[in-house]
Amino acid sequence: MIIVDLSQVEKHYRGVHALQQLDLQIQQGEILGLFGHNGAGKTTTIKLILGLIKPSQGEVRVFDKNPAGSHAYQIRRQLGFLQENVSFYQQMTGLEVLNYFAKLKGCTARQPRDLLAQVGLEQAADRRVKTYSKGMCQRLGLAQALLGAPKLLLLDEPTVGLDPLATRDFYSSIDALKQAGSTIVLCSHLLAGVEKVIDRALILKQGRALAAGSLSELRQQADLPVNIELQG
Ligand code: ATP
């Protein structure tokens, strides 16, 4: 079942063509990697799916509805979002942070503790966020994004600034979500750690879809600008 459908989408910001003629379908249960260098249009794509911005032309459908239209709130509740370098109230513990967001989302009381365990932070649940490493903060951000059991998880450069060990830990949580059948869009300009979890990749260059397919298919295309990383 297709849960995200972008059709001939254009997004212009005052003379900048952030996206051009973009077609993108995301199937339920797949992990899509959205790759491209800085400015390629990855965040713009995520914002369109979240309904934070509207396309200049073309159509965006999420769960068969316009995410920036009258059903925006209903759709937004089914989406989990994590951005790069997320930060939380430093004086609160990890559990307090999650409890706070759980109340806003109307989740069950049990969910925050379960989610902390799911991302490997159960031992740090009662420690203040100021004592967390960057990797732990990103995993807390992942737990927050998972509150309310979203049907689609959008991760925008989630491992930027993390060391290889923290990146590996983060992607092992993503791998567990994959095994549980989650649908995830993962934006990155790096392939390190991502190869094992993604089913399909879309490469953006200057707002256009340059290539799409499995990583093994894309590795055959020597002319791709990210091919050096793909080979790596
Ligand atoms: P990065 O990895 O640097 O975040 P990205 O692939 O996510 O890059 P976008 O943030 O989607 O790229 O940006 C695509 C293009 O649109 C860039 O040229 C960017 O400068 C431009 N852009 C994005 N948001 C705005 C805005 N609000 N106003 C003007 N230009 C914008």
State what percent of residues in the chain have pLDDT above 70.
Answer: 95
pLDDT given at position 136? 94
Whether 41 lines ligand 1, by a CB cut-off of 6 Å, is: yes
Ligand 1 mean position, distance from CA 203 (Å): 15
* pLDDT at 228 > cutoff 60: no
Contact 51, 62 (CB under 8 A): yes
Euclidean distance between CA atoms 221 and 204, whole angstroms:
14
Contact 174, 205 (CB under 8 A): no
pLDDT 10s digits, 130-163: 999 999 999 999 999 999 999 999 999 999 888 8
Instruction: For residue 90, count other CB atoms closer than 10 A to its CB.
Output: 10
Contact 200, 24 (CB under 8 A): no
> Which residue has the CA at smallest separation from atom 3 of ligand 1?
38
Has the ipTM of the complex gone over 0.85?
yes
pLDDT given at position 226? 54
* pLDDT at 108 > cutoff 90: no
pLDDT given at position 231? 45
Ligand 1 mean position, distance from CA 88 (Å): 24
pLDDT 10s digits, 35-51: 988 889 999 999 999 99
Whether 216 lines ligand 1, by a CB cut-off of 6 Å, is: no
* pLDDT at 212 > cutoff 80: yes
* pLDDT at 124 > cutoff 70: yes
pLDDT 10s digits, 189-204: 877 778 889 999 999 9
The dihedral over CA atoms of 128, 131, 132, 134, expressed in degrees to the nearest 10, equals 130
Ligand 1 mean position, distance from CA 45 (Å): 10
* pLDDT at 53 > cutoff 60: yes
SS3 of residue 191 by DSSP: coil
Whether 22 lines ligand 1, by a CB cut-off of 6 Å, is: no
Least confident of 72-76, 146-150, 197-201, 222-226: 222-226
* pLDDT at 225 > cutoff 60: no
Query: Mean pLDDT over all residues of the chain?
Result: 90
Residue listed under structure tokens 């990697």: 33
Half-sphere exposure for 60 (CA within 13 Å, toward CB): 26
